[in-house]
Amino acid sequence: MQGISSKQMALGGVALALLIIFPLLVDSSFGQHVMILTFMFAMCGVAWNVMGGYAAMFSFGQVAFFGIGAYASSFLLLTFNISPWIGLVAGGLISALLAAGIGYPCSNLRGHYFAIATIAFAEIIRIVFNNWKLMGAAEGITIPMLKESLANFMFHSSKLPYYYIMLAFLLVSIAVCYWVSTSKMGYYFRAIKESHEIAKVLGVDVVRYRLYAIMISAFLTSMAGTFYAQYILYIDPESVMIMPISVQIVLVAMLGGANTVLGPVIGAAVLIPLSEYSRAWLGYKGTGVDMIVYGTLITIIAMYQPEGVWGSITNLMRRRK
Amino acid sequence: MNDLPILDVQGVSKYFGGLQANEDVSFHVNKGEIVSIIGPNGAGKSTLFSCVTGFHRLDKGRVLFKGQDISNWKPHSIGKLGVVRTFQIAQVISDMTVLENVMTGAFLRHTNVPDVRRKAEKVLTFTGLFEKRESNATALSISDKKRLEVSMALAMEPELLMLDESMAGLTVVELREMIELIRKVRESGITVVVVEHVMEAVMELSDRVVVLNSGRKIVEGPPKEVVANPEVIRAYLGERYNAVRQ
Amino acid sequence: MEQLAQQLVNGILIGLVYSLLAIGLTLIWGVMNVLNFAHGEFLMIGMFISYWLYSLAGIDPLLSIPLNAVALFLFGMFIYRFVISKVMKGPALAQLVVTFGISIFLANFAALIWTPNFRSIEHTLLSGTWDISGVKLSIPKFVTSIGSVLTSLGVFWFLRNTRIGKAILAVEMDREAAVIMGINTERINSLSFGIGSALVGVAGALLATNYYIYPFVGGSFSLVCFCIVALGGFGSIEGAFIAGILVGVVQTLGGYIFDPAYKLAIVFAMYLITVWIRPQGLRGL
pLDDT number for residue A318:
62
**Average pLDDT of chain C, as a whole number:** 86
Q: B109 near B156, Cβ under 8 Å?
A: yes
pLDDT number for residue B1:
47
Tell me the chain C residues in contact with residue A250 when contact means C-beta distances shorter than 8 Å.
93, 96-97
Burial (CB count within 10 angstroms: exposed 0-12, middle 13-18, buried 19+), residue A284: exposed
Q: A294 near A275, Cβ under 8 Å?
A: yes
> Residue B242 pLDDT > 50, yes or no?
no
Q: For residue B246, name the pLDDT band (cuts at 50, 70, 90).
A: very low
pLDDT number for residue A315:
65
Alpha carbon distance, N-terminus to C-terminus of chain B: 44
Closest CA to A299 of C106, C46, C39: C106
Please give the share of chain B, as a percent, with pLDDT higher than 70: 95
**Which chain A residue lies closest to B80 (C-alpha atoms)?**
A203
From residue C204, give the alpha-carbon distance in Å to each of B122, C45, C49, C53: 65, 7, 8, 13
Q: What is the DSSP letter of A204?
A: -
From residue C158, give the alpha-carbon distance in Å to each of B61, B68, C187: 50, 58, 17
CB contact under 8 A, C101 and A299: yes
Tell me the chain A residues in contact with residue B87 when contact means C-beta distances shorter than 8 Å.
197, 201
pLDDT number for residue A316:
65
Beta pairing, strands B7-16 & B19-29 = antiparallel
Question: Residue type for B5, please?
Answer: P
**pLDDT tens per residue, range B128-152:** 999 999 999 999 999 999 999 999 9
**Average pLDDT of chain B, as a whole number:** 89
Q: B182 near B163, Cβ under 8 Å?
A: yes
**Which chain B residue lies closest to A54 (C-alpha atoms)?**
B95
Instruction: Considering only residues C255 and A209, tell me which one the structure prediction assigns the higher pLDDT.
Output: A209
H/E run at residue C221: helix C218-232
Helix (H, G, I), strand (E, B) or coil at B72: coil
Q: How far is it, in rounded angstroms, from Cα C64 to Cα C54?
A: 8
Region B97-126: mean pLDDT is: 95
How close is the nearest chain C Cα to the Cα of A107, in Å? 9
**Spatial CB neighbours of C207, under 8 Å, sequence gap ≥ 6:** C17, C43, C47, C144
Q: Which of C39, C214, C262, C272 to mutate to test the interface with A (most CBs of A within 10 A)?
A: C272
The contacts found for A194-197 with CB under 8 angstroms, 24 or more apart, are A194/B91, A194/B93, A194/B94, A194/B95, A195/B91, A196/A108, A196/A110, A197/B55, A197/B87, A197/B91
Q: A185 near A209, Cβ under 8 Å?
A: yes
How close is the nearest chain A Cα to the Cα of C224, in Å? 9
Question: Residue type for A197, please?
Answer: E
Region B72-100: mean pLDDT is: 92
Q: How far is it, in rounded angstroms, from Cα A101 to Cα A95?
A: 10
pLDDT number for residue A3:
54
- Using the Cβ of C271 and the Cβ atoms of chain A, whether some distance falls under 8 Å is answered with yes
Apex C179 CA angle, C176 and C180, nearest 5: 90
> Residue B239 pLDDT > 70, yes or no?
no
Tell me the chain C residues in contact with residue A130 when contact means C-beta distances shorter than 8 Å.
261
From residue B118, give the alpha-carbon distance in Å to each of A136, B104, B122: 57, 12, 6
Tally of CA atoms within 13 A in the half-sphere of A224 that contains its CB? 33
Q: For residue C133, name the pLDDT band (cuts at 50, 70, 90).
A: confident
Helix (H, G, I), strand (E, B) or coil at B23: strand
Question: Residue type for C98, please?
Answer: V
Q: For residue C167, name the pLDDT band (cuts at 50, 70, 90).
A: confident
Q: How far is it, in rounded angstroms, from Cα A94 to Cα C113?
A: 44
Segment of A102-106, A211-215, B13-17, C134-138 carrying the highest mean pLDDT? A211-215
**Which chain B residue lies closest to A204 (C-alpha atoms)?**
B76
| Intervals of chain A under pLDDT 50 | 1-2, 321
Q: How far is it, in rounded angstroms, from Cα A174 to Cα B178?
A: 44
**pLDDT tens per residue, range C38-52:** 999 999 999 999 999
Segment 168-227 of chain C within 8 Å of chain A by CB: 219, 223, 226-227
Q: Which of A116, A119, A126, A315 to mutate to test the interface with C (most CBs of C within 10 A)?
A: A116
Q: A53 near A207, Cβ under 8 Å?
A: no
Closest CA to C20 of C159, C233, C198, C200: C200
Provide the b/e sequence for C212-240 (b: ≥16 CB within 10 Å).
ebbbbbbbebbbbbbbbbbbbbbbbbbbb
Nearest 5°: phi and psi at B222? Answer: -60, 150
**pLDDT tens per residue, range C182-209:** 888 888 889 999 999 999 999 998 888 8
Q: For residue C152, name the pLDDT band (cuts at 50, 70, 90).
A: confident
* Cβ–Cβ pairs < 8 A, chains A and C: 135
Q: For residue B75, name the pLDDT band (cuts at 50, 70, 90).
A: very high
pLDDT number for residue B241:
47
Q: B129 near B151, Cβ under 8 Å?
A: yes
Helix (H, G, I), strand (E, B) or coil at C128: coil
pLDDT number for residue A73:
94
Q: How far is it, in rounded angstroms, from Cα C77 to Cα C250?
A: 34
CB contact under 8 A, C261 and A306: no
Q: Which chains, if any, share at least 3 CB pairs under 8 A with chain A? A: B, C
Q: What is the DSSP letter of A154?
A: B
Beta pairing, strands B68-69 & B19-29 = unpaired
Question: Residue type for C100, please?
Answer: F
Q: Which chains, if any, share at least 3 CB pairs under 8 A with chain C? A: A
- This prediction has a pTM of 0.88
Reduced to 3 DSSP states, what percent helix, strand and coil does chain A have, rounded to the nearest 5? Answer: 75, 0, 20
Instruction: Considering only residues B2 and C151, tell me which one the structure prediction assigns the higher pLDDT.
Output: C151
CB contact under 8 A, A201 and B79: yes
Tell me the chain A residues in contact with residue B100 when contact means C-beta distances shorter than 8 Å.
1, 187
Question: Residue type for A198, please?
Answer: I
pLDDT number for residue A319:
60
The helix/strand count (H/E) of chain B reads as 9, 10
- Selecting from A184, A197, A203 the residue whose C-beta is nearest the C-beta of B156 gives A203
Q: How far is it, in rounded angstroms, from Cα B205 to Cα B192?
A: 10
**pLDDT tens per residue, range C79-103:** 999 998 888 877 777 788 888 889 9
pLDDT number for residue A1:
40
